[in-house]
Amino acid sequence: MSSKTIKSKFYKYPSLEEGKIQTKYIPNYDSFRFKRINGVTSVLNGDLETNEVHRRDNLYNWNRVLTNKLFKLHETELFLRVHFERGIQDNIIESNERELVDGIQFQYFVEIYYYFYFSCLEVLAQILNCFYDLKYEDHQVCFKKKLFNKIQNDDIKGLLIEFNSSIETTREYRNHFTHKFPKNENDLRTKLSHSDGRNMIHISMGNRVKNEAFLKNIEDSSKLLKILLDKLKLEFDDEINEKN
């Protein structure tokens, strides 16, 4: 079996120029405008009902978490794009010493991207739960159709269901990274089948998702998330403006 030597001198942080170039291709995510409130003062002064204080406090704090995760998602996409654009090979054996390191870094940040992407969606589900007062406990909240169906606003419900359907490939990649054989690894596993009472073994051909396909999926997924957040922001801002 061929071997490759990984040399530390090729581990290079993205330069300022590389960052500027790749940032142009990544959405700028805008978080929501939920304001911080003083819960104790609001309750004692009778400004708001206890449930509303709880709702607004949670909206502010979940939005703070979402803001941080969106930044990490953006930076992760920046890093993986830089390593891809430096030039990498799908076949590690064909990589030179520099391509080998950038290829490893690309695959590393690709996997991290899918973690942050779905982590953002789970935090968004918490915000939806608070905003629409769906009354789920934290541990019951999940970015799924069950939650969407409890939302009374049909436009928002439809928007969420449509978005969720549009990221099926993204979810498949994430699930393989998390629970199954990862899509970026050559799948050389044997497979068993049964025919006429006989066990048969099959040799896999090493199928994997290529680097370009991952990058295309990530680009599409980021654009879809940006559109979703912008539309939800319009809905949330309407209520914020009404209560100010």
Residues near 215 by Cβ (< 8 Å), separated by ≥ 6? 80, 81, 84
Q: In this structure, are residues 143 and 187 in contact, taking their beta carbons and an 8 Å threshold?
A: no
Out of 47-51, 110-114, 152-156, 213-217, pick the least confident: 47-51
Interatomic CA distance for residues 178 and 156, integer angstroms: 29
Distance of CA 239 to the CA centre of its chain: 27
Mean pLDDT of the chain: 90
Interatomic CA distance for residues 97 and 79, integer angstroms: 19
Q: Decide: pTM greater than 0.95.
A: no
List pLDDT tens digits, range 194-204.
888 788 887 77
pLDDT of residue 27: 96
pLDDT of residue 45: 66
pLDDT-based confidence at 59, cuts 50/70/90? very high
The fraction of the chain above a pLDDT of 70, given in percent, is: 93
Sequence-ordered strand ranges (E) for 36-183: none
Instruction: Tell me: pLDDT of 44 over 80.
Output: no
pLDDT-based confidence at 242, cuts 50/70/90? low
pLDDT-based confidence at 239, cuts 50/70/90? confident
List pLDDT tens digits, range 132-157.
999 999 999 999 999 999 999 999 99
